[in-house]
Chains A and B, each alone.
Chain A
Amino acid sequence: MSGHKQLRIALRNCGVIDPENILEYIARGGYMALGKILDEMAPEDVIDELKKSGLRGRGGGGFPTGLKLEFARRNEGERKYIICNADEGDPGAFMDRSILEGDPQSILEAMAICGYAVGANEGYVYIRAEYPLAIERLTIAIRQAYEAGLIGDDIMGSGFSFDIKIKYGAGAFVCGEETALISSVEGNRGEPHFKPPFPAEKGLWGMPTTVNNVETLANIPSIFNMGAGRFAEIGTKTSKGTKVFALAGNVNKVGLVEVPMGTTLREIVYDIGDGIVGGKKFKAVQTGGPSGGCIPEQFLDIPIDYESLKEIGSMMGSGGMIIMDEDTCMVDIAKYYLEFTTDESCGKCTPCRIGNKRLYEILCKITKGEGTEEDLDSLKELGGIIKDTSLCGLGQTAPNPVLSTMKYFYDEYLSHVRDKKCPAGICSSLTRYEIIADKCIGCTMCAKACPTACISGKVREPHKIDQAKCIKCGACFKACKFDAILKS
């Protein structure tokens, strides 16, 4: 291995081949895994190999993929199904989209492999309708794969047949949850169901079904090409292989990165991401999307995998990674994520539908300076109960951003409720703008900028802000060239 921090397995063909030309995929070893499997491996061996590789679901849960296929194999059913989950609804995440746009054939090959392993002859790609380019390329890929006889009837003369169809998601975040997804494919309201029964027992149309994430699938052909043993050498004890992250936020080099499990956050933020924009101080990194948590500086050096992230109150999630600098208000961040999850909740169960709404309302109160210390206790208590009682993963994880920021940035919460101050100066109701008389030269720029005309003062004399009328828009702060306005 070279000194590079990144290792591309799932993204191996992205940016390398023409996704609209199946020959380029074949030239890079595409469909060799499927060919070999159909030629010389029994379905059980395929499952064993996947178990040996240690591959775990990249869609959030981290469930061992081999085991999941084994369950579906073992359960009886007239028909069985393989579903590729390409619903990718986390705000800011685009790992799956990139794979579908850059290497759609790898997904089709992997679905056929899974189909062979569990005894399924039909597959669906559930993709969000907001991904037109990915849909276009996937459609072309499916057509070409059918033409080449690499999916469809009697693949490569093996006697195994596998069909793949596309289903469009309506764009609701919760439709990415597997039981909701299945319900949506069946034409019903995309709403989660209590598990068990798991999809592997009773999934699509009541038949054994496996739902796999795009990135999970993208790894599968490589595992057979490089050997499960070699794959399992990459990563940590519990988490094998690599993980793709969509690096975003206040970091110099935002983008898609794929790193071996066990890479530290510091390596991602500083070596790959090239540090914080403008040389500011790092404050936290948010992983796991709206279900995740905020990780403070003290954990920058832990090797990240499914378990370590969970231990520190966050999670792997699907791979969103947002870097926050010192100017970020953690209460505001928690509020942002909770707003997302309350909007996207399917509304089925009480704790998520009403509980998360109440959490959100309490956070709004706090950011407006109307919060009390009892509110902080309520947040913690209610958040815990919501996690403990919600029906699906959305509700069970929705309080994470709140609870993790409370855990690591409690002082910030306290300033909001006790001192009615937002230390990062983000919560506008809690910010105060004042003109420092000594510095003000009376240029009148601030007064001209102020939309509510609440700055008074004569030319060349210090100005003054009427606090009662100020709406804390910050226009004067930006307009002043002499640093005479104090924001606090």
Chain B
Amino acid sequence: MKKVNVTINDIKIAVPENYTVLEAAREIDVEIPTLCHLNLHDLKAVNRSASCRVCVVEIEGRGTLAPSCSTYVAEGMVIKTHTPRSVKARRTMVELLLSDHPKDCLVCEKNQRCELQKLAADLCVREIKYTGAQSTYEIDNSSRSIYRNLDKCILCRRCETMCNEVQTCGILSGMDRGFETVVGPAFGLPMIDTMCTFCGQCVAVCPTAALTEINQIREVWDAINDPEKIVVVQTAPAVRVALGEEFGMEAGTIVTGKMAAAMRRLGFDRVFDTDFAADLTIVEEASEFIHRLRHGGTLPILTSCCPAWVKFFEHQFPDLLDIPSTCKSPHEMFGTVVKTYYAAKMKIDPEKLVVVSVMPCLAKKYEAARPELNTNGMQNVDYVISTREAAKMIREAGINFVDLPDEDFDNPLGESTGASVIFGTTGGVIEAALRTACDWLTGESLEKVDYHQLRGLEGIREGTVKIGDMEVRIGIAHGLGNARRLLEDIRSGKSTYHAIEIMACPGGCIGGGGQPYHGGDEGIIKKRADAIYREDQGKAKRKSHENENVIELYRDYLGEYYGEKAHELLHTSYQKRELI
């Protein structure tokens, strides 16, 4: 890349010509504050609406201040980032935003995690300088996943970029004009009546509390405090590599043991691991794949463990409902197994069992209530809380997370293999499935467990895996926009894949809508991915079908893999949904 010479705050520096002024300033350790700007470069999620005007700087020869996030450097450009004029303008932008903002930080979901709040502090805003009309909108808590309080929206449009450009769902867009401008679904529809997949990526990037999760902490405490109930908690693979961030730990710290300890101290009666169910999912899904391969079934097979992705294809590709695997998602399998097998085994009335999932995901909150996922009239999973909500509970309970000792999960639903851990990142489910499918198809126990060609953050990846004398072509997509591209190829007959993994969230579940806020730093997502593979590496067993608890479950209760009982309990069905 050609370099150009610029002068920033009297310091001369050469930077690549495709740099913005903001990026150039970072090179000399000058941080220009931003608010609407978002750049998840490798995930292709870039919001450059240049609308908040917080990042304005002076550029010699220009009449007006320039937004540094979207002004590109040019040869000889002379930039001043912190002149009284630009600092005053910046502060005024924040003051104006605050003049149309509820300012109830003390009782706000986003308190201490809010980018607007931080900016106000950083810019030393000490008075509410402007007053006047404030916009008020109705709260939208129509869904089980997303809470919209547009009074707190600062119109950064990050959610829109995420939903429309990255996820191609087109749910959120700007409406009305002037002071009444607002971001939301067409015709002001509540989220529940839209094609929203509840992937929560809009929530993941919202800088304020305009978009947050529907919080179920209260309900979970009530269950824990109810002496009649036996409350079972399960934690998803991606949670253990992110939860530590909420307590100031370095991104990518693996906190599996502390997490299990914390769950126990919160008062959960049994502390289990969704990873167990991930192994279960793999043996079922690998069996289904082999079945389809051997019996001329529909190919490719698509993974189905991401509920946002499931809802996406139900709306957008109803003609392809026979392609996805019919396997339930891991935490749903888990819930089913708890309320049937486990209840029977432990002689507990299933009505007394409450299953709580700790998930990186907001779609799973919605998924838990899907009626076809009930077993014997009971919801398989009663409550889903996000990684963030779990952290809130841990803080509320006064647990010093950082110093907790490592503890193990309870048995019999606590064992897991390395294969289940990698579920948390893009490419992991298919890699896990291959580890099992390869062994089964060849009838051997293969040495090779690491499929490096399938890893990484590229939006669409593909690879060919040789199993015996068969070449299995694998496709991987994360982010629903990428998924759409793969699906369109299938629809048009261009696709030649045998198996495809799809995750709705960029990066997979480690980048899920319920994870600690990354604040626009995609390095955090990468560190979580690295941690996932480290955890896998460190496991004694790395193939799902070697999980003793899983083997025991089939032996004692389910019978055959992909058999009748397994179908009844572990598989589900899909339905066509409207395009609105």
Contacts and interface: CB of A to CB of B under 8 A. Distances in A.
Say whether A associates with B. Answer: yes
Interface of A: 172, 174, 189, 191, 193-194, 196, 342-351, 353-355, 357-358, 361, 382, 385, 387-391, 396
Nearest to A342: B178
Nearest to A189: B174
Interface string B180-210: 1100000000000000000000000000000
Given A355-B96, A387-B64, A347 B179 contact: yes
A349 B100 contact: no
Given A349-B53, A351-B53, A388 B97 contact: no
A357 B88 CA distance: 19
Contact of B177 (A346, A388, A390): A346
Interface stretch (B44-52, B268-276, B420-428, B443-451): B44-52
A354 B97 contact: yes
Given A194-B50, A388-B65, 14 more contacts: A174-B177, A193-B50, A343-B177, A343-B178, A345-B177, A346-B181, A347-B174, A348-B181, A349-B51, A349-B53, A350-B154, A354-B130, A355-B92, A389-B53
A172 B176 CA distance: 11
A129 to B, nearest CB: 17
A354 B179 contact: yes
B537 interface: no
Contact of A358 (B72, B99, B155, B181): B99
Most chain A Cβ neighbours within 10 Å, of B100, B132, B133, B155:
B132
Contacts of A350: 51-54, 93, 96-97, 154-155
B89 interface: yes
B93 A357 contact: no
Given A351-B53, A389-B53, A390-B53, A357 B178 contact: yes
A347 B180 contact: yes
Contacts of A357: 132-133, 178-179
Interface in B118-136: 130, 132-133
Interface of A is mostly: helix
B53 to A, nearest CB: 5
A391 B53 contact: yes
A194 B157 CA distance: 14
B252 interface: no
A477 to B, nearest CB: 33
Contact of B56 (A387, A389, A396): A389
B159 to A, nearest CB: 14
B133 A389 contact: no
A347 B154 CA distance: 11
A479 B546 CA distance: 100
Nearest to A174: B177
A191 B174 contact: yes
Shortest 7 CB-CB contacts between residues of A and residues of B: A347-B181, A194-B50, A354-B96, A361-B132, A345-B178, A389-B53, A357-B179
Interface string B351-378: 0000000000000000000000000000
B51 A391 contact: yes
Contacts of B154: 350
Interface string B31-63: 000000000000000001111111010000000
Contacts of A388: 56, 64-65, 85, 89
A319 B85 CA distance: 33
A349 B154 CA distance: 10
30 contacts: A189-B174, A194-B70, A196-B72, A342-B179, A343-B177, A343-B178, A344-B177, A344-B178, A345-B179, A347-B177, A347-B179, A348-B51, A349-B50, A350-B53, A350-B96, A350-B97, A350-B155, A351-B53, A351-B92, A353-B155, A354-B96, A354-B100, A357-B132, A357-B179, A382-B92, A389-B64, A389-B65, A389-B92, A390-B53, A391-B51
A87 B285 CA distance: 58
Contacts of B130: 354, 358, 382
Contacts of B72: 196
A346 B183 CA distance: 12
Most chain A Cβ neighbours within 10 Å, of B85, B154, B155, B177:
B177
Contacts of B85: 388
A358 B88 CA distance: 17
Contacts of B51: 348-350, 391
Contacts of B70: 194
B514 interface: no
Contacts of A355: 92, 96
Interface in B367-412: none
Given A344-B178, A347-B178, A351-B93, A194 B53 contact: no
B152 to A, nearest CB: 14
Contacts of A354: 96-97, 99-100, 130, 179
Most chain A Cβ neighbours within 10 Å, of B52, B65, B67, B130:
B130
Q: How large is the interface on B (under 10, 10 to 19, 20 to 34, 35 or more residues)?
A: 35 or more
Interface string B95-131: 0110110000000000000000000000000000010
A172 B54 CA distance: 27
A38 to B, nearest CB: 37
B177 A172 contact: yes
Contacts of B177: 172, 174, 343-347
A349 B53 CA distance: 7
A175 B504 CA distance: 35
A382 B177 CA distance: 21
A189 B164 CA distance: 13
Contacts of A382: 92, 130
Contacts of B92: 351, 355, 382, 385, 389
A22 to B, nearest CB: 39
B172 to A, nearest CB: 12
A347 B155 contact: yes
Contacts of B340: none
Contacts of B178: 342-347, 353, 357
Contacts of A349: 50-53
B168 interface: no
A348 B177 CA distance: 8
A335 B132 CA distance: 16
Contacts of B100: 354
A389 B89 contact: yes
A331 B206 CA distance: 40
Nearest to B129: A378
A279 to B, nearest CB: 40
A353 B174 CA distance: 13
A396 B48 CA distance: 19
A224 B88 CA distance: 50
B7 interface: no
A191 B56 CA distance: 20
A396 B181 contact: no
Contact of A353 (B56, B67, B89, B181): B181
A43 B54 CA distance: 43
A397 to B, nearest CB: 11
Most chain B Cβ neighbours within 10 Å, of A174, A193, A350, A357:
A350
B215 interface: no
B216 interface: no
A277 to B, nearest CB: 34
B417 to A, nearest CB: 48
A355 B96 CA distance: 6
A349 B100 CA distance: 13
Most chain A Cβ neighbours within 10 Å, of B53, B130, B155, B157:
B53
A346 B48 CA distance: 17
Interface in B313-351: none
Contacts of B157: 348
Contacts of B180: 347
A344 B52 CA distance: 18
Contacts of A193: 50
B98 to A, nearest CB: 9
Interface string B65-97: 101001010000000000001001100110011
B253 interface: no
Nearest to B49: A348
Nearest to B176: A347
Contacts of A391: 50-51, 53, 67
